[in-house]
């Protein structure tokens, strides 16, 4: 079929909840995607932080092919051969003790919320627990995840949402303290706010939250769905701060492109929260996704991608600073590792669209940030090429 035929087929049959760009991708290789016309696109989006290894990695493909030939699905009523190793891998790289596999990041948030509520219920036998979340946060689009998302335009059409959620200001410890009461069961936050504009947590703020939660037996839940799995130069971003959450959510690059998420907890939380019958999933943690998780973590460590990100980030930040210095409408940049945002006063949507036409895939975050989430295999040569395209696009403004 021709490109327009693929697009028409989708528009005729899909529920219209995405405004897709007029491109039909066919395949990928290393750092690049290729559309049905054969045009090449350098990818600085990695499927919104998913494709850590780029495209067409033979070792990863072989691991999935091998599992597909053996077994795809059993349900969680039974053990299977890849479940234990994937669970052990996640616990090792997160520093947590127990893990529950989900189908997505939003489902991981749902599980984390339920775990925190059950933990609090077992402390006093009462319902009505409250969660403190943060303004401008994003945690997903299910009703529970929307309830803790602090961006009103995502929430407004779906009221009433889950009650008992109060929103503090990110990186403002006093605003959190003002909301804490005897009903607070959890504080839930992104270690680096993604959709809200690429805002990393300040070290003093995050450490103060950890101390507060420990003192009052409140669970600290860190959402690392986007910033986890090597993207910041550590396997998980909170490891930069030398703290440990009570619950962490993870997804995106966890499966290297296979849909999988997870929430991991400490032994203390695991022993005093969910029990058989409280939570479940048909597909979560099935043989295929566990093979993907195991191979993703194995390759992340074998290729030393967090170390590579740490080594190359200064060069990426140098390229960002060059654009900041060159253009008046670029007012700065912020981020950590390969999760970076360029702050603009011109329409970000137009920049994203024009970059795509020029052969560079980038993203937006909020209304004024151009978001860069390149595959973790990106090197200085890739950044030179990508920023040459970006510079050319910005020069048109």
CA gap 213, 231 in Å, rounded: 26
**What pLDDT is stored for residue 245 in this prediction?**
98
Size of the chain in residues: 397
Q: What integer pLDDT is reported at residue 126 of this predicted model?
A: 79
Architecture of the domain spanning 60-302:
3-Layer(aba) Sandwich (3.40)
Residues 6+ apart with CB under 8 A from 271: none
Dihedrals φ, ψ of 34, to 5°?
A: -135, 135
Name which of 103, 72, 64 is nearest 284 in CA terms: 103
> Domains of the chain: which residue ranges?
3-56+307-395, 60-302
pLDDT in tens, 157-184: 999 999 999 999 999 999 999 999 999 9
C-alpha 361/C-alpha 386 separation (Å) is 9
User: How far is it, in rounded angstroms, from Cα 147 to Cα 99?
Assistant: 23
Residue written as tokens 């950044």?
Answer: 383
What pLDDT sits at residue 128? 84
- Distance (Å, whole) CA 359 – CA 377: 19
> Poorest-confidence range of 82-96, 118-132, 220-234, 344-358?
118-132
What is the pLDDT at residue 311?
98
**pLDDT score, position 127:** 84
pLDDT (0 to 100) of residue 320: 98
Mean pLDDT of 241-268: 98
Chain-centroid distance of CA 340 in Å reads 13
Band of pLDDT at residue 194, cut at 50, 70 and 90: very high
Considering the segment(s) 3-56+307-395 as one domain, its CATH architecture is Alpha-Beta Complex (3.90)
Are domains 3-56+307-395 and 60-302 of this chain identical in fold? Answer: no
- Those residues with Cβ within 8 angstroms of residue 126's Cβ, 6 or more apart along the chain or in another chain: none
- pLDDT tens by residue, 77-117: 999 999 999 999 999 999 999 999 999 999 999 999 999 99
Mean pLDDT score of the chain: 97
For range 238-263, the mean pLDDT: 98
Cα–Cα distance measured from residue 51 to residue 93, given in angstroms and rounded to the nearest whole number: 18
The distance in angstroms from the start CA to the end CA of the chain is: 36
- Mean pLDDT within 194-207: 97
Where does the pLDDT of residue 327 fall: very low under 50, low under 70, confident under 90, or very high at 90 and above?
A: very high
> 123 φ, ψ to 5°?
-75, -40
Mean pLDDT (whole number) for 298-306: 98
Q: What is the token pair recorded at 304?
A: 């030393």
Residue 394 structure tokens: 């910005």
Distance CA(338)–CA(300), nearest Å, equals 14
């Amino acid at each position: 079929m021709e490109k327009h035929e693929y697009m028409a087929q989708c528009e005729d049959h899909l529920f219209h909840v995405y405004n897709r760009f007029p491109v039909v991708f066919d395949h990928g290789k290393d750092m690049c995607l290729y559309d049905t016309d054969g045009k090449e696109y350098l990818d600085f989006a990695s499927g919104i932080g998913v494709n850590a290894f780029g495209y067409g990695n033979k070792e990863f493909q072989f691991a999935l092919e091998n599992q597909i030939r053996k077994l795809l699905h059993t349900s969680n009523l039974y053990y299977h051969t890849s479940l234990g190793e994937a669970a052990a891998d996640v616990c090792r790289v997160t520093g947590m003790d127990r893990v529950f596999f989900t189908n997505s990041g939003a489902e991981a948030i749902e599980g984390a919320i339920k775990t925190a509520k059950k933990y609090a219920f077992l402390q006093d036998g009462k319902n009505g627990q409250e969660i403190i979340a943060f303004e401008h946060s994003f945690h997903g689009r299910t009703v529970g995840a929307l309830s803790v998302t602090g961006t009103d335009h995502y929430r407004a059409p779906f009221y009433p949402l889950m009650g008992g959620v109060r929103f503090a200001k990110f990186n403002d410890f006093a605003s959190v303290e003002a909301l804490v009461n005897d009903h607070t069961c959890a504080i839930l936050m992104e270690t680096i706010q993604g959709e809200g504009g690429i805002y990393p947590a300040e070290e003093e703020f995050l450490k103060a939250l950890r101390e507060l939660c420990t003192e009052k037996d409140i669970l600290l839940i860190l959402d690392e769905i986007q910033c986890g799995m090597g993207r910041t130069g550590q396997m998980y971003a909170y490891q930069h701060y030398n703290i440990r959450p009570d619950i962490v959510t993870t997804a995106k690059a966890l499966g290297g492109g296979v849909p999988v998420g997870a929430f991991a907890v400490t032994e203390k939380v695991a022993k005093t929260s969910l029990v058989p019958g409280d939570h479940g999933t048909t597909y979560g943690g099935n043989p295929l996704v566990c093979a993907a998780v195991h191979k993703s973590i194995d390759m992340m460590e074998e290729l030393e991608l967090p170390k590579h990100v740490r080594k190359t980030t200064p060069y990426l930040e140098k390229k960002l600073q060059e654009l900041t210095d060159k253009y008046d409408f670029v007012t700065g940049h912020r981020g950590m590792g390969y999760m970076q945002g360029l702050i603009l006063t011109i329409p970000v949507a137009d920049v994203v669209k024009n970059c795509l036409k020029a052969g560079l895939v980038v993203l937006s975050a909020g209304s004024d940030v151009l978001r860069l989430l390149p595959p973790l295999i990106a090197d200085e040569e890739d950044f030179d090429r990508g920023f040459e395209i970006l510079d050319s696009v910005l020069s048109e403004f």
